[in-house]
Amino acid sequence: MPCFDILSSQDLARGAVLLGTGGGGDPHVGELFLRRQLQRGLQPRLLPLAELADEAFVVSVAGIGAPTVLVEHLLSETALKHLLRQAEALYGRPIDALVCAEVGGANAMLPLAAAALSGLPLVDADGIGRAFPHIDMTTFGIHGCSASPALFSDDLGNLAHLSAADNPSLERMVRALVGSLGGSLYGVLYPLDGARVKRFAVPGSVTQALRIGRHIREARAGSADPVAELVRFLDGLEPGRRARELFDGKVADVRHETRDGFHWGQVLLEPASGSGEPVAIDIQNEFLRARQGERVLAVVPDLLCLLDSESAEPLTAENLRYGMRVRLLAYAAPPCLLSEAALAVVGPERFGLEAPWRSFLADEQGRAQA
């Protein structure tokens, strides 16, 4: 397991933005939080998923709300410690390990900072292999694990223990509370035993984010085209998961709105070459779908990432600005997100997108077979 330093903390944050596909919150504040722990000599301990005991009691720690607001409401160390103590009181047992609900953005950094602060190990895995806007959208949820009972706090003395009839109800309740309490909350949820975490979590996510971030840093120093180099790297990183560059463009229009506890928007990219059809990307916290005219280039649960054209820096949705030069990358979802049961929870229809999921490789594979 890696020993974290400032450099690896930055690498992890960078990789987490890529896996966050525009959402999950800007990890910068989370990274500063982690960095402060490292400077105090507190190391987060990463636990390989395989080493997790079946009977261990594992919970997720996450920020909930529009990423635009989450970055402005950083939980204090005191509040984070208090939240974990309250969670132990709620569950009536000590927490043995933490796991990221999602490895995207700030929600990758926060559990790492919590691990450093509390001394609890962080399982090297997560509940989705990317970021998603709803708390029911996890592999744990897909496999019928309840996110309840869960605990949410806003660092101003407001605390909610919620037990919902099902995960979508919990999502509705939390989202309503988020709206009533300033736009963001921090929570402890998905109380699970180690056996179920081992069975359902996406393994190695934290390490993967770290490797992706490090690779971008190294490609920047050693390659003329870090984006192309990154696509090659991702394309061979895990069996069955391909990566492609889909578009080279420029931000021509960007609409943002923070509403109902989410960040909504659409980004329009014009071709960098100056001619050709533009690409529109729909946002609900995360990049959900990229279209060129009527043609869907890529859609959830596949990962859509926007990178700075030159530096390959992954970009969060809320930081996109007019005129930015960006390249659009698609990275295949972890295979476990593509089953029928999984697509019912995290497929395009759950986001109100009409068409069913279709791989961004479908055309390419069609041509190869023809």
Q: Tokens 């992954």 map to which residue?
A: 314
Dihedral through CA 137, CA 165, CA 176, CA 174, nearest 10? -50
Q: Over 234-264, what HEC string results?
A: HHCCECCECEEEEEEEEEEEEEEEEECCEEE
Q: Which CB atom, from 87 or from 290, has the smaller least distance to its own copies?
A: 87
Residue 27 to residue 216: CA distance in whole angstroms: 16
Q: How many residues bind its own copies (CB under 8 A)?
A: 19
Question: By CB under 8 A, what part of segment 109-168 binds its own copies?
Answer: 156-165
Question: Does 78 sit near its own copies (CB under 8 A)?
Answer: no
Question: Does 311 sit near its own copies (CB under 8 A)?
Answer: no
Shortest Å distance, C-beta 70 to its own copies: 18
Question: Does 271 sit near its own copies (CB under 8 A)?
Answer: no
Q: Which CB atom, from 130 or from 175, has the smaller least distance to its own copies?
A: 175
Exactly one of 180, 311, 339, 365 binds its own copies (CB under 8 A); that residue is: 180
Q: Which CB atom, from 165 or from 362, has the smaller least distance to its own copies?
A: 165
Strand-by-strand arrangement of the 295-299 sheet: 295-299, 286-292, 279-284, 262-271, 243-259, 325-331, 303-308
Q: Tokens 């990890």 map to which residue?
A: 27
Cα 184 to its chain centre, rounded Å, is 16
Q: Which amino acid is at 319?
A: N
Question: Does 169 sit near its own copies (CB under 8 A)?
Answer: yes
Across the strands, what pairs with 24?
none
Question: Does 179 sit near its own copies (CB under 8 A)?
Answer: yes
Residue 49 to residue 366: CA distance in whole angstroms: 37
Question: Does 175 sit near its own copies (CB under 8 A)?
Answer: yes
Shortest Å distance, C-beta 149 to its own copies: 8
Cα-based distances in Å from 154 to 81, 82, 259, 369: 13, 12, 18, 54
Q: Which CB atom, from 163 or from 365, has the smaller least distance to its own copies?
A: 163
Question: Does 79 sit near its own copies (CB under 8 A)?
Answer: no
| Tally of residues, the chain | 370
Q: Which CB atom, from 47 or from 150, has the smaller least distance to its own copies?
A: 150
Shortest Å distance, C-beta 174 to its own copies: 9
Across the strands, what pairs with 57?
193
Q: Which CB atom, from 161 or from 291, has the smaller least distance to its own copies?
A: 161
Question: Does 181 sit near its own copies (CB under 8 A)?
Answer: yes
Binding site for its own copies (CB under 8 A): 156-165, 169, 172-173, 175-177, 179-181
